[in-house]
Structure 1
């Protein structure tokens, strides 16, 4: 795997290194402040996305209302092993191994290309997993990996979920990482070649014909992967009401359908190719989990 391709894939696993401590009251205030953009946006759902780039830090944040009660979503997102079932939905996640409990919980995540490949060819990340708050109406989960390749560091995934009413929850997903000279050069190489036509979701102007002009560059990469992970969470939660045997196919199909809502930014594989690849990867993940038990 070339350095710039490797670096691009790293963005899948990052989260907000500078995210300030929050709580239920702060997230509820954020929900109120975002009332207008949640109601009026181009995402076809109550969702707000923002990204920042500065001081060697890239960060993406999504805020969204979920049609899921907190009594269902909160417990479902607390277990470290449930996160492996969630993360594997992402196109570039090739495998996930969960271990330990509570303060010793770990996630080993393998990130690779958009086709089936051996785990030995994917890049492994070691994440510490911690539930920082688990209240009757609020959940906060942190995944942190201190190091990555090419001098990158401080990878963090932060998820907050807040109860809104009997049927809805409010979600905040944030991720970021820090990078140095080598990683910056690798990313610029990717953006000049394989990623040169890729765009994000933020609209920065209009073309001569009046069509939206979308953000490009490093922030666009963060925005695309923020959305892919949000869609994985949404698909994972959306299948919980089904019998266990029916959940996997619904999650995979819902993730792909979610991606195809935004083909300009996110289209990579046709549904049949995605489903075939993911079913193989999930079977491999399940075999490995059974071997470790």
Structure 2
């Protein structure tokens, strides 16, 4: 049964967070795409140095209710070879996705586990795994070059009238010890999803905020974007932090990865707080055993 109301938006939003689409300038996975991303890095370095996140990270989004879009541009403190070796493998995307509270199961499928990710997403993070909705995403690595990686996922249909999910992760070296990455996601909503979104944003989601500063109050305090743009930004940041946490703990016990991700979320409590650490760890320990 498809989720409705507040839960529909939550489920659809998390699914959107699983799936990113390339910017138009990076549509062709070829050496020119690698050159384009390196040129983008050179262009964005002054902005990255002045990032409001106080680290080389920029977050962009739109406020569309019919075609939400979120993007992250960031420098990772991981060498490109290590990033490429890990993220070209579908099972590691399951490791990343399973960090999210509403993702209850994930497994590579298809020929030799290479062509698909079978994912179960719950309407509420408190739901049991057997209550989650099963979805399959096509997995592909369009480009795997010595100085460029791109990974894509896609799904034509989602819950509650959502469709055309597209994912793209792209990366190039940023010196010998770092990696410049671009992460974006896009999906489309039908009438049912737009109605659910409107209901959520008028009730439980009305006080939720994103990361972009829309203005300041009389005392000079930042006022952050809300509404659908806030939804897009929160989802984008969750999945960026999941990728970063995985890369930093890939060779460590799973428990360390879980703690790293939860701590990363808690750095932005106004936007990303959902669970206390003990609740999150207990939930994920159970779900990872079911994998």
The equivalent residue for 1:260 is: 266
Report the 3-state secondary structure (helix = DSSP H, G, I; strand = E; otherwise coil) of the residue aligned with 1:57.
Answer: coil
The equivalent residue for 2:189 is: 179
Label 1:60 to 1:102 Cα distance change in 2 as closer, same or farther (>3 A): farther
Aligned pairs (5 A) from 1:12-23: 12-14=14-16, 15-17=19-21, 19-20=23-24, 21-22=27-28, 23=33
TM score, norm. by length of structure 2: 0.91
Label 1:19 to 1:130 Cα distance change in 2 as closer, same or farther (>3 A): same
Determine if contact 1:10/1:111 at 8 Å carries over to the other structure: no
Determine if contact 2:64/2:228 at 8 Å carries over to the other structure: no
Q: Does 1:84 align with 2:94?
A: yes
Q: Does 1:69 align with 2:75?
A: no
Q: Distance in 2 between matches of 1:94 and 1:203?
A: 33
Determine if contact 1:60/1:176 at 8 Å carries over to the other structure: yes
Q: Distance in 2 between matches of 1:157 and 1:32?
A: 24
Aligned pairs (5 A) from 1:158-177: 158-177=168-187
The equivalent residue for 2:50 is: 40
The equivalent residue for 2:5 is: 3
The equivalent residue for 1:140 is: 150
Shift of residue 150 of structure 1? Answer: 2.2
Q: Does 1:277 align with 2:277?
A: no
Label 1:278 to 1:261 Cα distance change in 2 as closer, same or farther (>3 A): same
Determine if contact 1:137/1:163 at 8 Å carries over to the other structure: yes
Report the 3-state secondary structure (helix = DSSP H, G, I; strand = E; otherwise coil) of the residue aligned with 1:91.
Answer: coil
Q: Distance in 1 between matches of 2:276 and 2:64?
A: 35
Q: Distance in 2 between matches of 1:5 and 1:76?
A: 33
Determine if contact 2:155/2:165 at 8 Å carries over to the other structure: yes
Q: Distance in 2 between matches of 1:199 and 1:169?
A: 29
Report the 3-state secondary structure (helix = DSSP H, G, I; strand = E; otherwise coil) of the residue aligned with 2:68.
Answer: strand
Shift of residue 52 of structure 1? Answer: 1.7
Shift of residue 102 of structure 1? Answer: 7.7
Q: Distance in 2 between matches of 1:148 and 1:170?
A: 30
TM score, norm. by length of structure 1: 0.90
Report the 3-state secondary structure (helix = DSSP H, G, I; strand = E; otherwise coil) of the residue aligned with 2:154.
Answer: strand
Report the 3-state secondary structure (helix = DSSP H, G, I; strand = E; otherwise coil) of the residue aligned with 2:253.
Answer: helix
More divergent stretch after superposition (49-58 vs 266-275)? 49-58
Between Structure 1 and Structure 2, how many residues are aligned? Answer: 281
For structure 2, the 5+ residue unaligned runs are: none
More divergent stretch after superposition (53-62 vs 75-84)? 53-62
